[in-house]
Amino acid sequence: MRTRWQWSEFFGWSGSGTRSFLLARAALAAVMIVIPLMLATGCAEQAGTRGQPVLKVVAASQEEFDRNYGDYIAAAFPELKVTVIETNAANPVGITAAQYEQLLQAEQPDLICFSYNPNLYRELAASGFLTDLSARMQADGFAESDYYAGMIEGLRIDGTLYGLAPTFQTSSLVYNEELFRKYGITPPRNGITSEELYALANEFAQAGSGRDDVAGLHLAHVVRPFDHLWNFSMREGMTLYNMKTGKVTIDTPLWERFVGTLLRGYKLGTFALRPGESDGVLDQTFNTGKAAMSIEVFNTSELFAFAGVGQERAFRVGKAVGPLGMDSPNRSDDIYFPGVVAIPASAKEPEQAWTVTKFLMSDYMAKVWNALSNSNLPANRAYMDYNDDPVLPGLYELLPKPAFPLDTLNGDYGPKFMTRFGELVNRVFEDAVAHGTGAKEVVRSLQSEGQKLMDAHKLAPGARKSGG
């Protein structure tokens, strides 16, 4: 057994750059056949002295486990019998921390594979149900610097890691290099902010892109003025209103600056005020060369192209890290952990569970993800040795933005208020474009009219539960 799990040394598989999906699948299938043979003299040899090893796993469902981890584990450890306990069977809507604790006590599984839920993860750790993995990592020579820092930061609790995320997802700004050359506009830089992104989109309208039916920016499902404001609020960690205090919070210098940039975009024709106009509301707008910029999860375009969804891009695509918030240029709200693995404190086979966990976090699995052209980025930074996409180093340096303060959106106000507030924003922007109103007046109108709406829609105690 090695103290450092460099699986690639066993498999001798190296390479860089973007691979053909079909060739990658073929290569992966071949390597999967070889894995058990190469591991036969390693950890697997321990099984011969005590019969077939068994690993009891808790996951949302058998299908989800197989898709995310099971197929790779089966190939790497062919003698290992894996039994999956499905939490969906206990509660299809979503298992609670109390239910999870009951399940762990009753079933005593060896490994937990669950979709990352910060509250659930922290509750299980605080209650003593999860094993300290920091000590195991240190004992086996794992260097935290070999892994995505955002994963380490996000899962560490008071200096201790109780779980590891084999992969993460994030987005980047993508842009049509040909359109930037055509209109003589400087491409976006790494670390571009949301406000800068909208200002850059406006440059295309100024350069006459509208005559060619080309939008400067297309964001899928971001159509009306309210959508743009909401998108900006998420990226900046700000709120349009605070349901906890009952106050509208848009009358600030930062909001006024962004409203001015967005309002200018509507007046220039960068965006259309209503759905169905030539603002690029269709998902294929960027792919067909009708938008200069968009935001997408890493690698999704390659996956869609292989699946035959959408139109193949006939232009060179550039990428930039962003858009990011102005107050935290090294953090993004687009970072997501699809799954976390943890070892219960009551595990009967903790060593086997740790062996499997190390495999999922290994440099070999980083190569597997690269071969699959998957939208999941391995937490193992070795992935960048096999994928030469120039945006990757910047993405790996980003950290998750602190969770949006959801309590500000959770108060005595029903869905009617949120709908009416969105309608107010759209109407005020339409009026401003029609009458040439400035950003300051728009913000003041939204603040005053929005506050009236909020005051009028405060629910009586208990009414929120009935959907008022």
> Can you give the pLDDT at residue 18?
37
Question: What CA–CA distance (Å, rounded) separates 365 from 189?
Answer: 31
Question: What CA–CA distance (Å, rounded) separates 391 from 318?
Answer: 9
Question: What CA–CA distance (Å, rounded) separates 238 from 229?
Answer: 10
Instruction: Tell me how far CA of residue 43 lies from CA of 3, 29, 359, 375, 401, in angstroms.
Output: 12, 22, 11, 30, 39
CB atoms within 10 A of CB 317: 15
59: exposed, middle or buried (Cβ count in 10 Å: 0-12, 13-18, 19+): buried
State both tokens at 341: 């693995």
> Can you give the pLDDT at residue 347?
95
Residue-by-residue pLDDT tens, the chain, 468 positions: 223 333 333 333 333 333 334 434 444 454 454 444 444 434 443 444 456 788 999 999 999 999 899 999 999 999 999 999 998 865 655 778 888 899 999 999 999 998 888 888 999 999 999 999 999 999 998 899 999 999 999 999 999 999 999 999 999 999 999 999 999 999 999 999 999 999 999 999 999 999 999 999 998 888 899 999 999 998 888 889 998 889 999 999 999 999 999 999 999 999 988 765 444 334 578 888 999 999 999 877 654 444 444 556 788 999 999 999 888 889 998 999 999 999 999 999 999 999 999 999 999 999 988 887 678 899 999 999 999 999 999 999 999 988 766 667 777 787 899 999 999 999 999 999 999 999 999 999 999 999 999 999 887 665 554 444
197: exposed, middle or buried (Cβ count in 10 Å: 0-12, 13-18, 19+): buried
Partnered with residue 112 across adjacent β-strands are 58, 342
Partnered with residue 130 across adjacent β-strands are 344
Biggest alpha carbon–alpha carbon distance for the chain: 83
> Can you give the pLDDT at residue 321?
96
Q: CB–CB of 313/300 below 8 Å?
A: no
Q: CB–CB of 297/376 below 8 Å?
A: no
The structural domains of the chain, ordered by start, are 7-169+335-380 (3.40.190.10), 171-332 (3.40.190.10)
Question: What CA–CA distance (Å, rounded) separates 24 from 14?
Answer: 12
Per the document, the length of the chain is 468
Chain centroid to CA 335: 4
By three-state DSSP, how is residue 214 classified? coil
> Can you give the pLDDT at residue 275?
62
Question: What CA–CA distance (Å, rounded) separates 341 from 421?
Answer: 41
Question: What CA–CA distance (Å, rounded) separates 265 from 219?
Answer: 14
> Can you give the pLDDT at residue 25?
46
Amino acid at 182: K
161: exposed, middle or buried (Cβ count in 10 Å: 0-12, 13-18, 19+): buried
The residue behind tokens 């919070």 is: 249
208: exposed, middle or buried (Cβ count in 10 Å: 0-12, 13-18, 19+): exposed
Partnered with residue 59 across adjacent β-strands are 86, 113
